Amino acid sequence: MPHAILRFAKRKGGPATAIEQHHERKKQRYGSNPDIDHTRTKDNYHLIAPRLKYYGEIQTRIEQAKKQNPRCKVRKDSVKFIDTIVTASPEFFDAMSPQEIRRYFEHALEFLKREAGEGNIFSAVVHMDGRNPHMHLCFVPLTEDNRLSAKEVIGSRDKLVQWQDRFHDHMATFFPPSNGESPPPSLSENTSPPGCSNRPTASAGR
Ligand SMILES: [Mn+2]
């Protein structure tokens, strides 16, 4: 299903607050992101709502992991969370109702719960106020035996290809109910998610 887009950005602890401000819409204005339509911000919603500030959510999980496994090491420059974007091409969403869009993101969330560990995910929020619907999902890259390792969880190029393959396979089982026909024509998976960038330079941007 080439219209399913999954992107990861590895983050240290430092940018957590800036990223939180974007994802959780904690600022009134986003000078760096003129694409946000504030009249539609009310249409944003959480599939997983953070209970604490992002930094607190991250530290809580890391402290818990350390208790479970003394070999859980955290260095100053460790990747502490993975800032994930799920989206699809605008043409794909154009054909869908808001309820179907929600089901699409819920379906993607099931994949990420399974693959990243449900307990490691501390926020999943769908933005409907950008140019294209997208979900920001953040999780702490803890292994099953409670070590902090983005390298092991996300890995390098080879492993990323596997992530993409599994994600596409999973999303291929999603079909919007109302038009139960075949999915829309294939669209380039290199389409950058409009209205949202997950590049490190855009930490506070969108
Ligand atoms: Mn966004």
**Ligand 1 centre and the CA of 136: distance in Å?**
7
**Ligand 1 centre and the CA of 81: distance in Å?**
17
Q: Cβ distance 146 to 65 under 8 Å?
A: yes
pLDDT score of 27: 72
**Ligand 1 centre and the CA of 113: distance in Å?**
20
What CA–CA distance (Å, rounded) separates 124 from 107? 12
Does the domain at residues 4-202 carry the CATH identifier 3.30.930.10? no
**Is the model's pLDDT at 197 over the cut of 90?**
no
The 10s digit of each residue's pLDDT in 140-195 is 999 999 999 999 999 888 899 999 999 999 999 987 654 444 555 444 444 444 44
The 10s digit of each residue's pLDDT in 28-47 is 665 667 788 889 999 999 99
Where exactly are the structural domains of the chain? Answer: 4-202
**Is the model's pLDDT at 206 over the cut of 60?**
no
**Ligand 1 centre and the CA of 196: distance in Å?**
5
What CA–CA distance (Å, rounded) separates 119 from 113? 8
**Ligand 1 centre and the CA of 66: distance in Å?**
32
65: amino acid identity, one letter: A
**Ligand 1 centre and the CA of 130: distance in Å?**
7
pLDDT score of 187: 44
pLDDT score of 28: 62
**Ligand 1 centre and the CA of 13: distance in Å?**
19
Mean pLDDT, the chain, rounded, equals: 85
**Ligand 1 centre and the CA of 108: distance in Å?**
16
What CA–CA distance (Å, rounded) separates 137 from 158? 22
Q: Cβ distance 120 to 42 under 8 Å?
A: no
For ion ligand 1, residues whose CB falls within 5 Å: 127, 196
Once rounded to an integer, what is the mean pLDDT over residues 104-126?
97
Q: Cβ distance 140 to 80 under 8 Å?
A: yes
The 10s digit of each residue's pLDDT in 59-111 is 999 999 999 999 999 998 999 999 999 999 999 999 899 999 999 999 999 99
**Ligand 1 centre and the CA of 20: distance in Å?**
11
Helices vs. strands in the chain: H and E counts, helices first: 6, 5
**Ligand 1 centre and the CA of 192: distance in Å?**
13
DSSP 129-171: SSSS-EEEEEE--B-TTS-B-HHHHT-SHHHHHHHHHHHHHHH
Whether pTM exceeds 0.95: no
pLDDT score of 176: 60
pLDDT score of 135: 98
